[in-house]
Amino acid sequence: MKYRTIGTDPTTRREVSVLALGAMLFGSRTEEETSFAVLDRYVEAGGNFIDTSDNYAFWTDGGQGGQSEELLGRWRHSRGIGEEIVIATKLGARPLAPGTSYVDNPEGLSAKVIRESAERSRERLGVQKLDLLYAHIEDHSVPLRETVEGFAELVAEGTAGLLGVSNHAAWRVERARAIAAAAGLPGYEMLQYEHSYLRPRTDVPGDLFPDGSLGHAGADLLGYLRAEPGLTLVAYSPLLKGAYVRPDRLLPDYDHPGTPARLKGLREVAQETGATLNQVVLAWQMGGELPIIPLVGVSSVAQLEENLAAVDLDLTEDQRNRLDSVHR
């Protein structure tokens, strides 16, 4: 395994594996025995960066989520896992009532919700401190200052470490970070957005958000990442839910002239390296100029093994240049 540093403050920064493991469906669609086997193999391979959320996976049973955090808590307890494993979770998108969703009835990002939701997550995970805590989705009903101060209070108390933000417009991320900096408070250092080698259209609705740009790391967000060296992007859905090997799974927002050209270049590099398309995509993300950590979701140990092999795949400068130059 290879590692990188996330965060800039010596009191909260961590060394994490360059490949993160998503636990979204653990404890719901992925049953406990398989979930434990995947987690065990990931740790055995040197992985130490696991991602979840307080609302995972509410849509599987019409509830409010919490199954993933609960499973991770049981796994931690049964394996004697301590601070060596960094577990990231999110709050803000938990449905307030069963049968609703984050679209029409989210918990939001008020100071009260931040405190109460973080406490519930700590209980489910069985931890004293949340290593990395994200603001999951935007909440326009609450002043950004209240959200910033709510997260900062948890850091000051020692119940949260690093702070991150997911699925927010880039300008709102910058404004929140500016508020924190002006007040001498800890701000967002981790960004979590969808990002892969193929690029979606930004003029059509995404699969998760009516405004697809909020979920995808587009040019504005990547430019922001390039301009702010202290930030790190955790890229969810890097393999587009299996679409690189199952083209029928490719969403409509990827149906544009740039996709075939990029797929052609990807296949050429895969053939040259003897790697799978998935492995080339992950290696491209992990070894690029920007600090990007792919967040992979798997439902079997075999899928995890394929992803782990990408850690040791080093693309040549020529291969990387060819991949990057397709419809630059």
pLDDT tens per residue across span 201-224: 877 665 556 555 578 899 999 999
Least-confidence region, from 137-146, 180-189, 209-218, 245-254: 209-218
The enclosing domain of 174 has a CATH number of 3.20.20.100
Average pLDDT along the chain: 95
Q: What pLDDT does 208 receive?
A: 59
Q: What pLDDT does 199 receive?
A: 94
323 is a domain residue: no
| Number of domains present in the structure of the chain | 1
Q: What pLDDT does 207 receive?
A: 55
Which residues lie closer than 8 Å to 55 by C-beta, 6 or more apart?
Answer: 64, 65, 66, 90, 93, 94, 95, 102, 136
The answer on pLDDT for 82 being more than 70 is yes
Average pLDDT over residues 185-201: 96
CA-closest candidate to residue 43, choices 82, 74, 12, 4 = 82
270 is a domain residue: no
Q: What pLDDT does 209 receive?
A: 62
The C-alpha atoms of residue 105 and residue 321 are separated, in whole angstroms, by: 45
Which residues lie closer than 8 Å to 291 by C-beta, 6 or more apart?
Answer: 4, 225, 231, 232, 233
Residue where the block lists tokens 């108390």: 157
pLDDT tier at 57, thresholds 50, 70, 90: very high
Q: What pLDDT does 206 receive?
A: 57
90 is a domain residue: yes
The answer on pLDDT for 190 being more than 70 is yes
324 is a domain residue: no
pLDDT tens across 118-176, in order?
Answer: 999 999 999 999 999 999 999 999 999 999 999 999 999 999 999 999 999 999 999 99
State the residue range of the domain holding 194: 3-256+276-315
264 is a domain residue: no
Residue where the block lists tokens 């790391």: 217
- pTM of the predicted model over 0.75: yes
Q: What pLDDT does 211 receive?
A: 56
198 is a domain residue: yes
Which residues lie closer than 8 Å to 154 by C-beta, 6 or more apart?
Answer: 114, 115, 118, 130, 133, 160
